[in-house]
Structure 1
Amino acid sequence: MSRIPVLIAGAGPVGQLSALLLARQGIASRLIDRRPRPAEAPKAHAVNPRTLEICESVGVSAEGLRREGASANDAGWVRFVGTLTGTEFGALPYERQDDSALADTPYPLTNIPQPKFEAALAKAIEAEPLITFTRGIACTGLVEVPDGVTAQLEAEDGRRDTLTCDYLIAADGAGSRLRDMLGIAMEGPEVLQHNLMIHFEADLRALTDARPGVLYFLFQPGTSGVFIAYDRGRTWVLMHPHDPATEPRDSFDEARCGQLIEAAIGTTPPALKIRHVSPWTMSAQVAECYRKGRVFLAGDAAHRFPPTGGLGLNTGAVDTQNLAWKLAAVLKGEAGEALLDTYETERRPVAQVNCEQSLTNASKLFELFGALYGRDPARMQAHYEAVAANPKASAELAAAVEAQRPHFDSFNLQLGYRYASAATIGAPALQAAAGVDISDYRPCWEAGAHVPHRLVKTRSGERVSLLSLLAADRFAILAGPGGTSWREAAAATGLTALRGGWDFEDEAKGWTELTGLPKDGALLVRPDGHIACRFEGGTENAAALLGEALAQVLAR
């Protein structure tokens, strides 16, 4: 029987990032996936700024991912149309992909098909000796033992093996078998809508050059659904709502899918090739708990969101960023076991906010149906045709389109989430989901917040993001210009030690204006970039104060 510090079940983006983040901390892992080969269907497409920052921190080039993604011109719009080539009822920008986002992040959101994203992560994994990655292996059973978890593994050919690990990360997706084995229930509506994903290849640039976009919501009666343009010249998906009770999956053969695509396009398309057809169910659920013993849920295994908002993959990426450094600290003997309890305390509230917002986004789309179809089912077609004849004349339609704007501008959810737990000191209480403005991101230097991006000048004269100076494998001290004692105490403890005015300089704003701290104040920053606590001076006993804070945060 072999043993490994961490077993990761599920090799989607969250599982792969888990392995890379643990390796960055010096922790070996075994990554398995029951699929014998990577999935080819495009699935998720939005990789937001925080996820890109996480990728950069583990050696996966954020700029490389952005180059692989669709251009902001191609993927910068959401359009509400009758059919792809029919009447347009309105359009909104899709997230902040242009240079306007650079004040708050070095890497604006990009749209990249999930298989491409996974391939970039897999390439980094291949070069990492601390990661053993095997496909075609399923975890079929779990037994917790006094000092770990024994997992029963089964290969595609039926061969069986056992593996003991100190901890296990269940990143095995929305239908998580491991979550079911653990008896962890999901909270929230399980079935909101049944959909069919029809993945096809076609060059539709000539039909969409005048109206480029990443999402095309279809409203012509009889032709509902959404087109996702992963690559307008090749890769498309039609999300088609259906009732499996009356329309089983088997009834959607290639001919029928082709008819649905042609009707949704609104004209005879160029040659197209249907690649995949698969059913899926829209849910809005969060697991009742994220941990059972030595097993942790991450990503879609912990939360299932409607796709309205593109929050699922990205929430999962930050889940594992939060968990990986804590597991590493415990495994290295630097932290107490209680630190691991803060994973759920910190991440579950974020998932609840994101789940609620995704559900709100989906619900608001019904305002468009009301404006376009009217309230009288008997007159739906006539009402639609009247609005379609002159969309600009409908104030109700304009208001319904504008109501969708937050759906496609979740900048604050991407960057502004905060934590309040035993792994922070003095963090303000969290806002209820209803009180969170999802678009209005305001950089914050309070305990529990993520260190904001600032363009700073280093001692060598290079201009970089402040975030790039923070190592992902250790705590850091950010001290004010008068914080020499803090810098010395941090260096003596093995932390990243940075003093404003010496190691970096913000030429736009001074230390106190930025942070609200005096010049001899400091911030203790965790490996995940979140501020653990603030020091209002105290340079005469900086080493003692730093030691006490680390002991409290690390539960030791």
Structure 2
Amino acid sequence: MAAQLDNNPVLETPVLIIGSSMVGMTLSALLAKHGVAECLTIEKHSSTAIHPRAALFHPRTMQIYRELGLYEAMKAESYKHYDELAGLYAVETLAAQDFGTWMKDINEGLEDISPTPRMFLTQQMFEPLLREHATTHGARLQFSTELADFQQDAEGVMATIRDVETGAEQRVRAKYMVACDGNRSLVRDKLGIEMKGHGLLSDSVTIYFRADLSRFVEGRYNGVIYVNNAEIRGFFRLDKTGREGFLVVNTAGKQGTEESRHPGKDITNERASEILRAAIGADVEFEITLLSPWRAVCDVAERFQVGRVVLAGDAAHTVTPHGGFGGNTGIQDAHNLAWKLALVLQGKAGLDLIDTYEAERWPVATKTVNQVFERYIIRTAPELQTEDLEMEEEIPEPWLELGYQYHSRALTTTGLPKGLVATDPASSKTQAGTMARHAMLWTTDPKADEGGNWESTEPKPVADFLGHGYVLLCGHKAVDWVRAGRSINGGSKSEGKRLPELSVHRLSPAIANKAFYEQYQMTPQGCVLIRPDGFVAWQDGAAKEHDAQGAWALQPEDKLRDVLESILCFTPARSALSGQESVKSKL
């Protein structure tokens, strides 16, 4: 939609997204899914990624793309280039004896805690799939376009965007602007937000090349291969044929020297060839196609939001590639933010719901930054591990990928210890503030009456119920909660507040549901409310609450309505229901 302001045309959009790499495009696709179409996403480059770059997708990220309907296409593309049983290896050189493995099978043990596996797929292969999906569903992506300037006020953001080829400028008015513009974020710099953390670890370089390394790879390595010898410390990312990939170089030369920390500075093809030969460990013909220097840092922004402008992805947190956490953490930022923006823009939540994005994602990003720093030191630069170095103890990948948890007023997290960011998803119970843990679920037919119609549907993973809106899962004896959810969906308003519709499901009395009840700490009379991003917002174990005298304290519909108004930030910052302090007090 175009408007007029000061006699100049102004393009209006609900959300302006700066940067159309994986994070920006994912946000645009998620917004479209939640009913906010025609958001504008701009990208200074002329196309999607032309180099492999990010490659390892975590199980949580694959759950997100499963919700978007991209999972099968991604899996098919991945298995053209990588085996299912890919791993993380450690070698002196490709041709030499290996040291061992960091992870022999990247999906070992995941089947019990996630409906989706880890997957290798390069950005170059993936982004065209994502672009087609986003544009097909109403997202507007504009390439060869950069942000020139912006100002914000209490109602939104006025931005000036520029065509990088012609120099033509256009003004854009948006309710919100999300900066997905990378680790050198123009938006972050203009807002005056500093990055804090571990600082510059090395001036690294990625060497893209063509070569036939099949005799070193086939039947031996598939995935990521860490190299550590007297000349080079970094890793290969190769496909299963050994003919496609690149070498990331973190340090080169005499280990522990200051000079070794800057292999990307003034890099030449001649020097890159020496490094590549040292990493391969054999006389092999190769052709270097590109040298891409970059700064290896593990830092997090002091803030993720200023007014109507929000940071996501590398603009908010930057890490080295160790473990593949960079892109995955950014995609999960987008997943947390999209539904909140949608509900606020649709008038189904209070404006303060956007503030809970920073409250929830900043602790997770900080924990991730510290954990990637630990992996960088252990896997690539052990010489930096001195007595004076402050470094967290490494926690397993699943804890960071599936076990992170949130504290904010968008959740009733009274049962979670404050400050706890990640836990073991295989052993910990599901509760408000945690991800909805993987479990199989038998439910009644949606058309069943509230009485004794117990025709069970086919069992499905909990993930199949999630991703589109709030979900209320009710025990098989929780008739009152079923009625409460359906009544709220009947269209009645609470003091003018328009609540989002609930997807209400009732469990069948199948014995097989016992595992779900135990995992979710529910009784057959109870219920659990799950947010659009798959996090548990609230739980109740009984059909009704009693006060000390035995009278009904709150009817189920009233209770459920009060919970929704609280976690959707329609109520003041401190709620008697949740006992939550304001978001800002937690930062």
Please classify the TM superposition score into its range, dividing by the shorter chain length.
0.7 to 0.9
Scaled by the length of structure 2, the TM-score of the pair is 0.82
- 1:366 deviates by 6.4
1:464 is aligned to 460
Per-residue Cα deviation, 1:319-373 (whole angstroms, up to 9, x for no partner): 11111111111111111111111110001000111111111112223686699xx
1:15/1:217 CA distance change after superposition, 3 Å? same
1:497 is aligned to 504
- Distance in 1, matches of 2:384 and 2:186, equals 40
1:44 to 54, 59, 62: 54
1:231/1:299 CA distance change after superposition, 3 Å? farther
Give yes or no for the alignment of 1:16 onto 2:21: no
1:422 to 394, 399, 409: 409
1:207 is aligned to 216
Per-residue Cα deviation, 1:103-135 (whole angstroms, up to 9, x for no partner): 111111001111212122112012112x11110
Amino acid at match of 1:46: L
- Distance in 2, matches of 1:548 and 1:461, equals 31
- Distance in 1, matches of 2:513 and 2:520, equals 13
Amino acid at match of 2:503: T
2:547 is aligned to none
Scaled by the length of structure 1, the TM-score of the pair is 0.86
Per-residue Cα deviation, 1:497-533 (whole angstroms, up to 9, x for no partner): 011117xx57263553232222111111111111111
Amino acid at match of 1:216: I
Give yes or no for the alignment of 1:344 onto 2:358: yes
Amino acid at match of 2:268: F
1:140 to 132, 135, 148: 148
Give yes or no for the alignment of 1:534 onto 2:539: yes
1:166-245 to 2 correspondence within 5 Å? 166-240=175-249, 241=251
**Identity among equivalent pairs (%):** 29
RMSD of aligned residue pairs (Cα, Å) = 2.7
Give SS of 1:350's match.
Answer: helix
1:35 is aligned to 45
Give yes or no for the alignment of 1:252 onto 2:268: yes
- 1:15 deviates by 0.5
1:154/1:348 CA distance change after superposition, 3 Å? same
> Is the contact made by 2:442 and 2:513 (CA closer than 8 Å) also made in structure 1?
no
> Is the contact made by 1:169 and 1:295 (CA closer than 8 Å) also made in structure 2?
yes
2:5 is aligned to none
Per-residue Cα deviation, 1:186-227 (whole angstroms, up to 9, x for no partner): 111220111110012333222212421322222221233221
1:447/1:292 CA distance change after superposition, 3 Å? same
1:479 is aligned to 474
Amino acid at match of 2:480: S
2:131 is aligned to 122
- 1:465 deviates by 1.4
- 1:450 deviates by 1.1
- Distance in 1, matches of 2:146 and 2:502, equals 39
Per-residue Cα deviation, 1:172-193 (whole angstroms, up to 9, x for no partner): 1111111111111111122011
- 1:467 deviates by 1.1
> Is the contact made by 2:218 and 2:242 (CA closer than 8 Å) also made in structure 1?
no
1:365 to 379, 396, 399: 379
- Structure 1: 5+ residue runs without aligned partners? 372-403
1:442 is aligned to 427
Amino acid at match of 1:478: L
Give SS of 1:192's match.
Answer: strand
1:385 is aligned to none
- 1:155 deviates by 0.6
Amino acid at match of 2:436: V
> Is the contact made by 1:418 and 1:430 (CA closer than 8 Å) also made in structure 2?
no
1:330 to 344, 352, 356: 344
2:72 is aligned to 63
Amino acid at match of 2:407: A
Count of residues in Structure 1 that have an aligned counterpart in Structure 2: 514
- Distance in 1, matches of 2:104 and 2:120, equals 10
1:73/1:55 CA distance change after superposition, 3 Å? closer
Amino acid at match of 1:447: A
- 1:420 deviates by 1.2
Amino acid at match of 1:143: Q
Per-residue Cα deviation, 1:261-307 (whole angstroms, up to 9, x for no partner): 223111122x5332321111111111111101101000111001122
Give SS of 1:193's match.
Answer: strand
Larger helix proportion of the pair? 1
- Distance in 2, matches of 1:473 and 1:420, equals 22
2:492 is aligned to none
Give yes or no for the alignment of 1:154 onto 2:141: no
- Distance in 2, matches of 1:370 and 1:160, equals 48
1:84 to 87, 94, 104: 94
- 1:2 deviates by 1.2
Q: Quick check: 481-490 or 107-116, which moved more?
A: 481-490
- Distance in 2, matches of 1:72 and 1:479, equals 41
Per-residue Cα deviation, 1:129-174 (whole angstroms, up to 9, x for no partner): 2x11110000121111342101110111211111000001101111
2:512 to 507, 516, 528: 507
2:369 to 320, 335, 355: 355
1:452 is aligned to 437
- Structure 2: 5+ residue runs without aligned partners? 1-9, 253-258, 386-391, 446-455, 490-500, 545-551, 571-587
Amino acid at match of 1:207: F
